[in-house]
Amino acid sequence: MPVVLREAWATLVPDMTGRHGPLPPLMLALTVLTGLVDAFSYLLLGKVFVANMTGNVVFCGFGAAGAPGFSLVASTVALGAFAAGALAGGIVVRRARTHRGRQLQHALLVETAFVAAAMVVTLTSGEPYTGAARFTLIALLGLGLGVQNAASRALAVPDLTTTVLTLTITGVVADSRLAKGPGRRAGPRILSVVAMLAGGLAGAVAVLNGHPTLPLLITVLFLVFATTAAIRFARSDAPWTRPLVTA
């Protein structure tokens, strides 16, 4: 079996006694959710991301220049909410810094609350999402994804950041045998890209076919499932639960 397939399989069906235990497939699931949520926000909230902040920084520049269709205010709100969520996530994961399972559990509970609140807003306000409803959705989703990214950073599963793919794609190519590199880690990196693509595709299909709340509904269901799994993992004392760093 080619190395890339073995690596991909080990990511999807990890060794539970390994350094990262069950975390890799959970990180992939969160990557899918990132694509779903960003599809919702970009297509329905006016060309703004709530997870991928690199795009929002560029959009702030577009908005400041007066480019049509881009809002400096919306992108700034997304950036601020994401930063606040990352702050909250940092506080949450540090309270459980001696156990990675509990770090994940606490972060997912907070993220689920924010995304569920956003889904309630979509159901009560109705489409199109304008005015206060629009900015409330941007803020709630930005907060939730900020928490997720803080947790992802603390858990530090290699090549599975759940959002940023620029370095992931660079690693696939720059470290390949074609570039005279070691040719390792391509499996999880490619899976991460595919997961984001799948989430974005599913979210866009739902929105474009008249189901605007479906991406958030799927996201909440996935988060509930992931949180349930994390609660179980929080009781484990397996080697993977020990923190990579103690800071």
* Main-chain dihedrals φ then ψ at residue 61, nearest 5 degrees: -65, -45
d(CA 81, CA 95): 21
Task: Say what percent of the chain tops pLDDT 70.
Answer: 98
Residue boundaries of the structural domains of the chain = 3-241
Position 4 scores a pLDDT of: 87
Report d(CA 59, CA 114) in Å as an integer: 24
104-108, 119-123, 137-141, 164-168: least confidently modelled range? 164-168
Say if residue 25 is preceded by a cis peptide, omega within 30 of 0.
no
CB-CB contact of 32 with 221 (8 Å): no
- In terms of DSSP H, where are the helices of the chain? 3-12, 23-44, 53-64, 72-95, 100-125, 131-155, 166-174, 186-208, 214-233
| pLDDT computed for residue 1 by the predictor | 52
- Alpha-carbon distance of 245 to 197, in angstroms, equals 31
Residue 49 pLDDT: 96
- pTM to 2 decimals? 0.93
Residue pLDDT, tens place only, 52-82:
999 999 999 999 999 999 999 999 999 999 9
Q: Calculate mean pLDDT across residues 31-52.
A: 96
Instruction: Specify the CATH number of the domain 3-241.
Output: 1.20.1250
Q: For 149-177, what is the mean pLDDT?
A: 90
Q: Mind listing the pLDDT tens digit for each residue in 218-236?
A: 999 999 999 999 999 999 9
